[in-house]
């Protein structure tokens, strides 16, 4: 059994795309793999089939039912805001200890590899005193950090990596998921990040389909 925490430099960067791709890639190799995304903001209660948790369930070959959604993402909020704000809109709060217990139980129950997908970027607030960084640090899992290739990503990514390094967390891989319609060359972005980060940097070119073929994640899966 192994586990990884998937985070990003910001929101809508591609965490779920990468997490689902890794699950599919490992399963295609005959390896057991699964994922949870405990906290979701912007969850459409009327269209759960289009949600991030549903994408993860599909990658695991599981149907999208209310029970399955609750098992993957117990904290689902309608407002597309940071988790603390989204929870407050509904008169709710995220119990940090409860969140950690859910993740630890999921890791213990999963055969093979489990990916714990975070919410938003690495410094997004979860409640009045905790961020995603605190969540990842408390679990103590190696991180997979997802970044984009848009103009500005170099500063955002290196800043996120500096914060993670200061917290003494381990980064297993940095994944650059190509940003659509970006004028910045993906190869140059990757080359710069390799020069400054000294981490395994994996590039993922933009594709038209929402579901990537497993071999697209072969290089990243080899690090798992």
Asked whether 174 and 13 are in contact (CB, 8 A), the reply is no
Task: Give the three-state DSSP class for 175.
Answer: strand
How far is C-alpha 170 from the chain's CA centre?
A: 15
The catalytically annotated residue of 15, 37, 168, 208 is: 37
37 among known catalytic residues: yes
Distant-in-sequence contacts of 208-212, Cβ < 8 A, 24+ apart: 210/17, 210/55, 211/20, 211/24, 211/58, 212/17, 212/21, 212/24
> Which DSSP state fits 44?
-
Any idea which residues carry the catalytic annotation? 37
């Amino acid at each position: 059994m192994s586990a990884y925490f998937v985070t990003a430099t910001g929101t809508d960067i591609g965490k779920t795309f990468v997490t689902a791709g890794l699950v599919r890639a490992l399963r295609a190799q005959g390896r057991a793999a699964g994922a949870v995304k405990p906290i979701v903001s912007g969850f459409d209660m009327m269209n759960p089939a289009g949600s991030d948790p549903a994408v993860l369930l599909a990658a695991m070959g599981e149907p999208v039912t209310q029970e399955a959604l609750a098992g993957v993402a117990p904290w689902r909020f309608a407002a597309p805001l940071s988790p603390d704000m989204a929870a407050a809109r509904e008169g709710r709060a995220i119990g940090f200890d409860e969140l950690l217990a859910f993740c630890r139980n999921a890791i213990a129950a999963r055969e093979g590899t489990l990916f714990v997908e975070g919410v938003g970027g690495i410094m997004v607030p979860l409640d009045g005193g905790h961020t995603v960084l605190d969540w990842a640090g408390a679990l103590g899992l190696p991180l997979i950090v997802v970044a984009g290739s848009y103009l500005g990503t170099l500063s955002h990514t290196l800043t996120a990596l500096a914060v993670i390094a200061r917290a003494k967390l381990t980064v297993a891989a940095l994944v650059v998921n190509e940003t659509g319609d970006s004028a910045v060359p993906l190869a140059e972005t990757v080359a710069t990040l390799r020069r400054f980060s000294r981490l395994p940097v994996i590039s993922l070119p933009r594709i038209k389909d929402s579901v990537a073929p497993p071999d697209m994640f072969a290089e990243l899966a080899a690090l798992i």
